[in-house]
Structure 1
Amino acid sequence: MIFTKKVLLLLLASVVLVGLTIWSVTTKPDVYAFELLYGSNICYAKNLKEHSFQPEQWHDNFYIGCHHGYFELEGVIDLPHNVDLNQWGVLIAIQASYRVYWDGVLVGKNGRVGSNKKSEVPGKINNQFILPERLLSPGRHKVKLELSNFHRSRFNTFRLIIAAPYQQLIQRPLLFTAGMYVLAGCFITIAIYYLILFIVAYRQASVLIFSALSLMFCFLTLFKHSRPVFMYDYPWHQTRLIILETLGYLICYLIVLFFLFRFRFPKKIITLIVFSVVLYWIDIQDFYPEDVYFLYIATLFTSLLVIIWAMAQGQKGSLESFIGLLPCFLSLNYYDFTLYLGFFGLVLIMLISLGVQFKTHKKAEQEALLRSGRLEIELLKKQLHPHFLMNTLTSIIGWIEAEPPTSVKLIEALAKELDILLEISAQKLITIQQEIDLCQSHIGVMQYRKAGQYVLEVNLEADNALIPPAVFHTLLENGISHHLPEAGNVTFLLTQTVDKAKEVYMFESRYTKSIGTKREASDKEGTGHRYIKARLEESFSQGWSFTSQSTPKGWRDVIEIKR
C-alpha cells in the first residue's frame, strides 16, 4: 500500500482523536452518569470514612472493598434549602449487608449484619430507604452504616450513598432501564435477522460476525442494567461483573473481526495478535475505573486503521465507515448512558457498511447472471453455428453417397455432441468426465469431416473435479481449426495436476510434423479465449489464470484454478 498524503493525514487525525479521547476520559470527574440515572437534584454523601470494629484492622483510608469483615462507614449529606424535602429517601449501593442510621436514628436494614460469614445474611446490591419527615431539614446530616461483607468475593471499592426524593429514586432507574432494554430489543432483533440472512442468503463471515456482535451488545445491555430490575443479593455481583468483563472482551474482538472481514484485510492473524497484546497490557495495568474505556478506544482505533487501509485501496463502503466511526469516540463519556448509545451508533455504521456490501454483491450477482445467460447462448451458438452445421451436413451428404454406414456414424456422433451440449449449457460447473465425453464426441464428428486423425489422451489425478462447461472443448476446436493437412495427425493431451493450493490443467495440441505452426496474435484474444476467460471468471472470480503459447510441434494452453 502506498502511503499517500491523504492516508497519512487520516492516520494523524486518528491518533489525535485517540489522544483527545484518552484525555477526556482521564480528566472527567466521574465515569457514571448518576445525575441522568437518579436526577439532577441528588445529594451525595461526602467525607466518607471507614473503620473496622476489629482493633487490629484500624487504618486510615481503609476500603471495605479490599477486605472481609465487620465495619462502620460514616459521612455527611448536605440537603438543599430551596427544595421541598417531603418524602425524601436515601439510596445505598454497596457490596455488604448493613444497618443505616440517619442522624443516629435507624432508618433501614439490608440483609443481616453478622460477625462472620455464617451469621451474616447477604443483602441486596441496591436498596432505597424512605427518611422520616421529622429527620428532614435543610443543612448537614450525618449518615452511618454498620455493615459486614463476609460474602464479598472480589476486590471492589465501588460505593454510592445519595439522598433524593424517594419516588425519584424508585422511578427514574426503572424508566432508564426500560429505555436500555428497548435498545437491547433492537440489538437482538438485528442479531436474529442477520443470522437468518446469513443462513439463507449471504454466507459471508462479516454477516455472521455482525449477528454475533449485535447479540453480545444485547447481552451486555441487559446485564449492565439489571440491578434496578432484579435487585439481586450482593454476592451475585461478582458473577455479574465477570459476565460483563467477558462480554466486553468478546465485543472488542468482534468489532475488529467485523472490519477485518468486511474489507478483506490481508494481515488478519497478525492484527489480532497485536490487538490481543494491547488488550492484555491494558488489563494488567491499574487503570480502574477507566480500563473499560481504554479497551474500547483500542478497539475503535484498530478498526480505524483497517478502514483507512480499505480507503487507500478504494474499497466501497470504507468512507462511510470512517465517517461513521468518528462519532463513536465521542460516546466514551459516561459508562451508563452515552457508551451504549455509541454501541447503537456503531451498529448503525455496520448496517450501512453491510448495506453497501449487499448492494455491490447484488449488482455483481445480476451482472454474473446476465453474463451466464450470454455465455450459455454463446456456447450453443458455437455449436449451432450455420457454418459448422452446413459443413457437417455436407459431409453427411458425401458419406451417404459414398458409404451410407459411415454417414450413420457421423449423424450419431453429431447427435451425441449436441445432446451433451444441451445438457451442460445451462450449468455453471460440470465434472471433468462430462467435459471429456463432450470432447470425444466432437472428435468423433471431426474425424469424418476432415482427413486428419485426431486422438485425445487424458491424464487425470482427480476425475471428480469441477470445471466450467466446454472449456477444453473450445481449446480442442481451436486445435482442429488451426490444423493444416501438411502437419499430419494431431494428438491432444490433457494433463491434470492437483495439490492443496490449486488445480492445473495443461492442454497440448501436438502435430505429427513440425512446420513452424504459429497462430496469429489476434487469435489469442479471439472468441474462444474470451469465452474461456469469461467462464473461469464466472465460476472462480479471480481465483484462476489462463496462459497460451506456441510450441515447436503445436500449441499449449494452461489453466490454473486456486482451491
Structure 2
Amino acid sequence: MQTALSASQMHLAIRYLFYLYLMYKTLFFTVLFLLLFSSCSYYKEYVTTDVTYDVDYDHQQMNWDRPTSSSFKFQTGIEIQKRENKAESLGLQINAFGAFDVYWDGVFVGRNGYMAKSGSVEVPGTETTYYQIPNKLSNLGKHTVTLIGTQTYCKEAQRGIDVKLKSYLQLHRSPLIVVGFMNLMAGAFLIAAVYYFFLYINSTRKELAVLLFAIICLLFFFLLIIEYVKYYLDIPYNEFYTRLKIIGWLTFAISMLVPWYFMLQFEFKRKKLFLVLLFITLLAVYIGYYGHYDISAAYFTITARFFSIVIAIDAAIRRAKGGLIVAAGLLAGVVVNYFMFYDFGLFIAFTILVLCMLYLHTIRAKAMEEAHNASLLLSSRLQLELIKKNIQPHFLRNTLTSLIDWIEESPKEGVVFIRALAEEFDIMNDIAEDTLIPIRQEIDLCRRHLEIMSFRKEICYDWQEEGIDENETIPPAIFHTIIENGITHSLRPKQGCIVFSLSFAKEKQFKQYTLLTLAQNRHTKNERRIGTGFKYIEARLTESYGTNWSFDSHAVEKGWETTIKIFEK
C-alpha cells in the first residue's frame, strides 16, 4: 500500500540528494585535478619531437627597406642535427606580427595573411602559424628560413620573430590535447556557475557568498575560453593584444573576488580594510606592469593567493571550521604553480581553490541543516509555549472563579466576559502554528486579553495605538506577553486606568515597535529581564528574524517601556 511522503521525509530526501550532488561534484573536481597532473606527461609525449636542431641566433637578420617602410625581410639558419623518424613530415612554428610569405631554403612553403602592396592594403596574418616542410627538403644539415612581409599595424610593439622546428603532426595535435582538458574544466566551472546562480535566486536567504562563488566560476569559465580561443579562431595580429587585455581584466576581477569570498566564509573582521588594500595592490600591479600582460596576470594571481592565505591562516588560528584545510589547499596551489608551467599551474591552482570553496560550502550546508533542525525544534517548543500560556491551571482557575462571580452578580456582564474569553481562545488557536501573524490580529488578541483581565481584577485597562501599519507582521503573542508582564508588575491605580500604548515607526534601516505601560511599577527584587516571558519573546524574534533584531525593556518615569527593533536585511 502506497502512502504519501511526509514533509520531514521529503526534507530528508532533498537533503541526501543535495549531499550526494556535493560529493559527486567534489569527486569530479578531484578526478579532474588528477587527470590534469597525469596529462602533463601525456602532453610532453606529443610535444617532444624526434628532431634535434639548432637555430643560428647569431646570424638572424631583420632588414627594413627604409626607416619609414613597413616591409621587412627576416632570415635565420637552422641546422638539423638528428632525426629518428624520417618518414614523418617536419613543420615550422612561427610566432611573428605581420603578413608574410615563408621560404625554406628558398622554396615557398606558406603564407600568413596578405602583404601590403601598391594599390592594396595589408590583410593581417595571425601571431602563430604552422607550415609543413617537404620531406625532400628536410635532410640533415643546415637550412635557411626566410620571411618576406609587411607589418603596417602595431609597429610600436617591437616584437621579435620566433622560429621552432617540430613534427608537423605534433604541432597540430598538442594544442588539441590541451584544449580538450581545458574545455572539460571550463564546462565544470560553467555548470557550477549556473547551479549557484539558481541557488542564489531561489534561496529565501540571499547569501552574498553564494553569489560571489557563482560569479567567480563564471569569470573563470570565460577566462578559460578566452585563453584558448586562439586555437579556434584566427585572430589577426593587430587584435592580438585585445585578447590579452580581456584576460588581464578577468584575472583582475577574479583576484578581487576570491579573497572577498573567503572573508565572507570565514567572517573575517577587517573586511573593508583588506578589500581596500587588495584593490590598491591590484591597481598598482595593473599600472606598474601595464602592457606586460603575462607578468601582470601572474602578479594578480599571486596577490589574490597571498591575501587568501592570510585570511585562511587567520581562520585556522581562530579555529574556524575549514580554515586549516583551506590554508593547506592554498599553499598546495603555491607549490603546484612553482613547479609547473605557468598556464597549467595557474589553472590547477584555481581548481584547488574551487575545491576549497566547495569544501566550505559543504561545511556551510551542514551548519544550515543543523540550524534548520534546531529551528524546527524551537518552533514546536514555541507553539507549545503559546498554547500553555492560556491553558495553564492557575489562569483557568482564577478566570473561571471570576466568571462564576460575574454570572451570579451580573449575568449580562458575565456573557460579555465569556465572549471575550472565547474570542481570545479562538485567536490563540488560529495563531498557534504560525511564525508570523498580521499586526492587527496581534492587537485583537491584546484587546481581548485586557478585556478579560478587566473582569478578573476589576481594574480598568485601556489600549491605545499610533501609526500602526496594517500590512506589517509580527511573531505571535509578542505584545500579548509584554501586556501580561505589565499587568503583573503594575500597581492598582487609585483612579483611572492602566494604559497600554503601542506605537510604530519605520525608518530606512529598521522598523520599531514601542509599547509603553502607563502605570506605577511594583518594586521587585529580581529584574524582569530574566523572566520566562522575555525569554519567549527573544526566542520568537530569533526564529523569525535571526540576529536582525534588538529588544529592550526598562522602567521610565511614567511606567515601563519596551522597544522592539527589526532591522532590514
1:98 counterpart (97, 100, 111): 100
Q: Give % identity.
A: 32
- Distance between the aligned counterparts of 1:117 and 1:217, measured in 2? 45
Shift, 1:371, TM fit: 0.7
User: What secondary structure does 1:56 align onto?
Assistant: coil
Letter in 2 for 1:51: M
- Cα–Cα, structure 1 residues 94 and 331, in superposed 2: closer, same or farther, change >3 Å? farther
Shift, 1:297, TM fit: 0.6
Match status 1:348 vs 2:358: no
Partner of 1:207: 210
Letter in 1 for 2:77: V
- Distance between the aligned counterparts of 1:541 and 1:392, measured in 2? 36
- Distance between the aligned counterparts of 1:117 and 1:266, measured in 2? 67
Q: Would you say the 8 A contact 1:190–1:211 is kept in 2?
A: yes
Partner of 1:75: 76
Q: Would you say the 8 A contact 1:468–1:536 is kept in 2?
A: yes
Partner of 2:382: 375
User: What secondary structure does 1:321 align onto?
Assistant: helix
- Distance between the aligned counterparts of 1:271 and 1:395, measured in 2? 66
Q: Would you say the 8 A contact 1:69–1:115 is kept in 2?
A: no
Letter in 2 for 1:55: R
Query: With CA pairs under 8 Å and 6+ residues apart, which has the higher RCO, 1 or 2?
Result: 1
User: What secondary structure does 1:137 align onto?
Assistant: coil
Q: Would you say the 8 A contact 1:216–1:247 is kept in 2?
A: yes
User: What secondary structure does 1:452 align onto?
Assistant: coil
Q: Would you say the 8 A contact 1:33–1:337 is kept in 2?
A: no
User: Which moves more between the two structures, 207-216 or 231-240?
Assistant: 231-240
- What RMSD, in angstroms, separates the aligned Cα atoms of the two structures? 3.0
Letter in 1 for 2:183: Y
User: Which moves more between the two structures, 325-334 or 335-344?
Assistant: 325-334
Deviations 1:457-496 (Å, cap 9, x if unpaired)?
A: 2233655443322111101112223345477642223344
Shift, 1:50, TM fit: 5.0
Partner of 2:401: 394
Shift, 1:183, TM fit: 1.0
Q: Would you say the 8 A contact 2:96–2:128 is kept in 1?
A: yes
Letter in 2 for 1:243: I
- Distance between the aligned counterparts of 2:192 and 2:103, measured in 1? 48
Partner of 1:84: 85
- Cα–Cα, structure 1 residues 37 and 502, in superposed 2: closer, same or farther, change >3 Å? farther
Within 5 A, what are the aligned runs for 1:357-376?
A: 357-376=364-383
- Cα–Cα, structure 1 residues 460 and 158, in superposed 2: closer, same or farther, change >3 Å? farther
Shift, 1:454, TM fit: 1.1
- Cα–Cα, structure 1 residues 359 and 509, in superposed 2: closer, same or farther, change >3 Å? same
Within 5 A, what are the aligned runs for 1:495-514?
A: 495-511=503-519, 514=520
Deviations 1:106-152 (Å, cap 9, x if unpaired)?
A: 22222222247943222234322111222223344332211222244
Shift, 1:185, TM fit: 0.9
- Distance between the aligned counterparts of 1:292 and 1:36, measured in 2? 25
- Cα–Cα, structure 1 residues 354 and 385, in superposed 2: closer, same or farther, change >3 Å? same
User: Which moves more between the two structures, 381-390 or 186-195?
Assistant: 381-390
- Length-normalised TM-score, structure 1: 0.84
Partner of 1:229: 232
Within 5 A, what are the aligned runs for 1:428-443?
A: 428-443=435-450
Q: Would you say the 8 A contact 1:126–1:228 is kept in 2?
A: no
Shift, 1:293, TM fit: 0.8
Query: Which stretches in structure 2 are left out of the alignment for 5+ residues?
Result: 1-39
- Cα–Cα, structure 1 residues 76 and 85, in superposed 2: closer, same or farther, change >3 Å? farther
- Distance between the aligned counterparts of 1:209 and 1:156, measured in 2? 40
Letter in 1 for 2:499: T
Q: Would you say the 8 A contact 1:107–1:130 is kept in 2?
A: yes
Shift, 1:184, TM fit: 0.8
Q: Would you say the 8 A contact 1:125–1:227 is kept in 2?
A: no
Query: Which stretches in structure 1 are left out of the alignment for 5+ residues?
Result: 1-31, 58-67
- Cα–Cα, structure 1 residues 495 and 50, in superposed 2: closer, same or farther, change >3 Å? farther
- Cα–Cα, structure 1 residues 150 and 503, in superposed 2: closer, same or farther, change >3 Å? same
User: Which moves more between the two structures, 345-354 or 139-148?
Assistant: 139-148
Partner of 2:562: 557
Letter in 2 for 1:77: I
- Length-normalised TM-score, structure 2: 0.83
- Cα–Cα, structure 1 residues 121 and 545, in superposed 2: closer, same or farther, change >3 Å? closer
- Distance between the aligned counterparts of 1:153 and 1:257, measured in 2? 40
The ranges of structure 1 where at least 4 consecutive aligned residues each deviate by more than 6 angstroms after the TM superposition are: 32-35
Letter in 1 for 2:385: E
